[in-house]
Structure 1
Amino acid sequence: MLCSFLTELFRRTMKSALYLCLLLLGLQVQGQQQEQQDHSQAEGENLSHVKIAPSNANFAFRFYKQIREEAGNKNIFFSPLSISTAFAMLSLGARSSTLRELHKGLFFNLTEMEDQEIHEGFQHVLQLLNDPHREVQLNMGNALFIDDRLKLLQKFLEDVTNFYYSEAISSNFQNSPKATKEINKYMEKKTHGKIVDFLKSLEPDTVIVLVNYIFFKGSWEKPFNNLNTRDDDFFLDAKNSVKVKMMHQNKAFNIYRDENLFCWVVEIPYTGNVTSLFVLPDEGKMEQVEDALLKETVSNWTESLKKRKIYLDLPKFSVSGSYDVRSLFEKMGVTEVFSDQADLSGVAEKTLLKVSKAIHKAMVDVRENGTEASALTVLEITPLLLPFPPPPHITFNRPFLTIIIDKTSHSILFLGKIVNPATKED
């Protein structure tokens, strides 16, 4: 009995906190057109990223629905890939039921793929996203800030470096203000100054801070002309509206009308093999479309797209979202990694660890272009045709969904719902 008591006492005193910080600088979409280059991967190359894509998609839509339950009538915007990557990286140090629960929460079925294949998949996604030859500005990375009193297991350190290209940065967590400042400075640099002072403070027992970041700056293949942008109404609901800057285009896009879900799907591509789907449900049909958000639904949309000339109205918007990932994960059944029963014994020597906090922030900025002060004038002249039937007029003047997809790595980079494009609040 004494032995049992001492074991439990040791467990409680040594249960240090692993502070999991999921950082995303989301998306800065700008309309500066560039000459597209094809850097697609040759056939027969490593396809491990394709194997994990269905699991990552399933996680993305399940996590979206969990956020929706709490978001109410607010904008939603997050990076499912950022969250999946951070927890997959953490799973390298998880054991027994903690590991099984993480796999289940991230929708990885070990009867279909081995643990090694999961990490090789994320490794290849990171390689594809960070390819310096891509014309799109897209960076994703990981870092571990480690208390200088903590000794990580060599195997864990090698695996996070090999599979996730993580930086390992020694830090003095006994000086909490200094450590917080150091981590914030790192994140500000990696997000090109877009996210500043994200961490307010560290909990007293923190020994590791895990950071994942994504930065994306894309240029539309078909930029909007800012001379056509004008004030217009965006209808929040049947009774309320706000004024927004509405962009306009009259060109050919890949579109699809889903008559089963009563929504329009418009694909607006970026240069560099990244694309976006903008989904406009009919009035009163948003919940029905959200309920149907599954990887099969999105696959059906993308396979059904047809090029057609349309009149497109899309609001400029800049929104952000901040989320308590721990709370959301616990409601999805992933609880052990945050509890005193956590088994993260593959991370560090002689120290029992648990995740004390997991947070995520995403930002999106959609506009016509990023170089408005230019001395270049382009007149686009096209034949005047009388199309039959006339082009549909698709106006995003009510709540809509947006999905940003990297075609090269088959990854959903960002997922969101724009309820009010005029607000910038989380």
Structure 2
Amino acid sequence: MKSALYLFLLLLALQVQGQHGSKLNAQQQEQKSPHSPEDQSQAEGENSPHIKTAPSNYDFAFRFYKHVREEVGNSNIFFSPLSISTAFAMLSLGARSNTLDQLHKGLAFNLTELEEQEIHEGFQRVLQLVNDPHREVQLSMGNALFIDDRLKLLQKFLDDVTNFYYSEAISSNFQNSPEAIKEINNYIETKTHSKIAGLLKSLDPETVMVLVNYIFFKGYWEKPFNNLSTRDDDFFLDAKNSVKVKMMHQSKPFNIHRDEKISCWVVEIPYKGNAVALFVLPDEGTMKQVEDALLKETVSNWMHSFTKRKIHLDLPKFSISGSYDVKSLFEKMGVTDVFSDHADLSGMAENALLKVSKAIHKAMVDVSENGTEAAAATVMEAVPMSAEFPPPPFIRFNRPILMIIVDKVTQSILFIGKIVNPAAEED
């Protein structure tokens, strides 16, 4: 019988807020390093490992999204494809034979186009750029292995996870299950700035290792919403039902695109620090059509087709979360061996036959106008009342929408979600 390797992929908290109340951001802007991550990334060009792996990571994001959609139906969705793919790519360092092949296929890596070394170098570079202290956006990502005293990991595996994934190796006593659970939960809570607490409820008695990936993001809008303009409004769940939400409003120039082919509007709302949120508003009755068209080519087309023009934008405030059984979703994607007695993780440990017994992911997002309500309330705008031709379009995100958060520095999708009901209770 194989020992159990618990793999926890989780973990992120995401908080999107306005700019007021953050003097640090202003100081960072003034003191921005000439060797900022944006400059470094652009200088590296198309041969950089993270640019080579970006298309596969996009493919994985949308493939995983479609499996989640099949499982949850007409419910809110929110997850970090980058968190999940990083954790499984790290695991693949210890995988061999068919187990390794399945992981590569599941993560959308084609070894006729990319060498295995380049995959890990790509994630290594993403981690470096994500965690760069010169970035204006608050973004951190990391990995940890909690290892039972009874398990002896191979030095090569330890060296590789440290070198490519900057993973911490933390010795734990899994025979004292309550203490091990507390230790892991405390680690997760600290790394996600208390956004995810008490995630791990129990441990399989056979567990000898827990792998954790976390990502934390807090972005400040380049142009914060004025909370004096926020009002109660209807968000239409379907043709017959609606809920009351706090609807934010701006009338400013944004990058927008009307995709007539799949019937949707796309609005790009930038954060400080070279990250953007793409909000996608399908026409009534076309959500499935838009979801089916979610491919890297579609998103690339949107981002290359933007035109900047003034719009009247309505966007709901919302806070949603998602929890997923990644093991079950990966099995539907053809990644089965790593979870079974056929698992070959022989590159990981000495004298131990390992398999992954559990893989879970939890994510949350909080979208609002700004950091501090009182200070923002002192901001008032005056605009000339001149007639414009053509008049700015009204784009009202008052029915189910998609949200994709893209880090332009690493060309990575950090998060992807569907907001069906912004007023739904969080799980």
Contact between 2:228 and 2:377, CA under 8 Å: does it hold in 1? no
Which position in structure 2 is the counterpart of 1:420? Answer: 421
- In structure 2, what residue type is equivalent to 1:160? V
- Separation in 1, partners of 2:54, 2:384: 42
CA change 1:225–1:376 in 2 (3 A) is closer
1:205 is aligned to 2:192:
no
Q: Deviations over 1:316-357 (max 9, x none)?
A: 000000000000000111100000000000000000000000
- Separation in 2, partners of 1:78, 1:349: 34
- In structure 2, what residue type is equivalent to 1:396? F
Contact between 1:24 and 1:363, CA under 8 Å: does it hold in 2? no
Question: How far did 1:149 drift?
Answer: 1.1
Contact between 1:78 and 1:414, CA under 8 Å: does it hold in 2? yes
Which position in structure 2 is the counterpart of 1:23? Answer: 10
Please give the residue correspondences for 1:320-331 in structure 2 after superposition, counting only pairs within 5 Å: 320-331=321-332
Question: How far did 1:377 drift?
Answer: 3.1
Which position in structure 1 is the counterpart of 2:104? Answer: 103
- Separation in 2, partners of 1:136, 1:292: 30
Contact between 1:403 and 1:414, CA under 8 Å: does it hold in 2? yes
Contact between 2:13 and 2:195, CA under 8 Å: does it hold in 1? no
- Separation in 2, partners of 1:312, 1:206: 50
Which position in structure 2 is the counterpart of 1:53? Answer: 54
Gaps of 5+ in 2: none
Question: How far did 1:372 drift?
Answer: 1.6
Which position in structure 2 is the counterpart of 1:288? Answer: 289
Q: Deviations over 1:402-425 (max 9, x none)?
A: 000000000000000000000133
Please give the residue correspondences for 1:205-354 in structure 2 after superposition, counting only pairs within 5 Å: 205-354=206-355
- Separation in 1, partners of 2:425, 2:220: 22
- Separation in 2, partners of 1:84, 1:294: 17
Contact between 2:316 and 2:397, CA under 8 Å: does it hold in 1? yes
- In structure 2, what residue type is equivalent to 1:214? I
More displaced stretch, 206-215 vs 32-41: 32-41
Which position in structure 1 is the counterpart of 2:357? Answer: 356
1:170 is aligned to 2:171:
yes
Gaps of 5+ in 1: 1-11
- Separation in 1, partners of 2:135, 2:376: 27
Q: Deviations over 1:75-102 (max 9, x none)?
A: 0000000000000000000001100110
Question: How far did 1:252 drift?
Answer: 0.4
**Normalised TM-score (structure 1):** 0.95
- In structure 2, what residue type is equivalent to 1:194? K
Question: How far did 1:384 drift?
Answer: 3.9
Please give the residue correspondences for 1:390-409 in structure 2 after superposition, counting only pairs within 5 Å: 390-409=391-410
- Separation in 1, partners of 2:239, 2:274: 37
Contact between 1:232 and 1:246, CA under 8 Å: does it hold in 2? yes
- Separation in 2, partners of 1:234, 1:71: 20
Contact between 1:28 and 1:216, CA under 8 Å: does it hold in 2? yes
Please give the residue correspondences for 1:117-196 in structure 2 after superposition, counting only pairs within 5 Å: 117-196=118-197
Question: How far did 1:373 drift?
Answer: 3.0
Q: Alignment partner of 1:347: what SS? A: coil
- Separation in 2, partners of 1:402, 1:375: 25
Q: Deviations over 1:265-305 (max 9, x none)?
A: 00001000010100000000000000000000000011101
CA change 1:240–1:22 in 2 (3 A) is same
Question: How far did 1:133 drift?
Answer: 0.6
- Separation in 2, partners of 1:424, 1:305: 34
Q: Deviations over 1:125-165 (max 9, x none)?
A: 00000000101100000000000111100000000000000
- In structure 2, what residue type is equivalent to 1:121? G
CA change 1:50–1:335 in 2 (3 A) is same
**Normalised TM-score (structure 2):** 0.95
Q: Deviations over 1:30-71 (max 9, x none)?
A: 011554558312444371100000000000000000000011
- In structure 2, what residue type is equivalent to 1:146? I
- Separation in 2, partners of 1:177, 1:372: 40
Contact between 2:7 and 2:210, CA under 8 Å: does it hold in 1? yes
- Separation in 2, partners of 1:280, 1:246: 15
Residue correspondences, number: 413
Q: Alignment partner of 1:133: what SS? A: coil
Which position in structure 1 is the counterpart of 2:85? Answer: 84
- Separation in 1, partners of 2:187, 2:379: 40
Contact between 2:157 and 2:347, CA under 8 Å: does it hold in 1? yes
Question: How far did 1:382 drift?
Answer: 4.0
- Separation in 2, partners of 1:31, 1:375: 9
Quote the sequence identity (%).
77
Contact between 1:249 and 1:312, CA under 8 Å: does it hold in 2? yes
Contact between 2:370 and 2:376, CA under 8 Å: does it hold in 1? no
- Separation in 1, partners of 2:368, 2:43: 38
1:41 is aligned to 2:39:
yes
Q: Alignment partner of 1:333: what SS? A: coil
Contact between 1:22 and 1:82, CA under 8 Å: does it hold in 2? yes
- Separation in 2, partners of 1:377, 1:233: 26
Contact between 1:320 and 1:424, CA under 8 Å: does it hold in 2? no
- Separation in 2, partners of 1:422, 1:273: 29
Contact between 1:31 and 1:223, CA under 8 Å: does it hold in 2? yes
Contact between 1:19 and 1:355, CA under 8 Å: does it hold in 2? yes
Q: Alignment partner of 1:120: what SS? A: helix
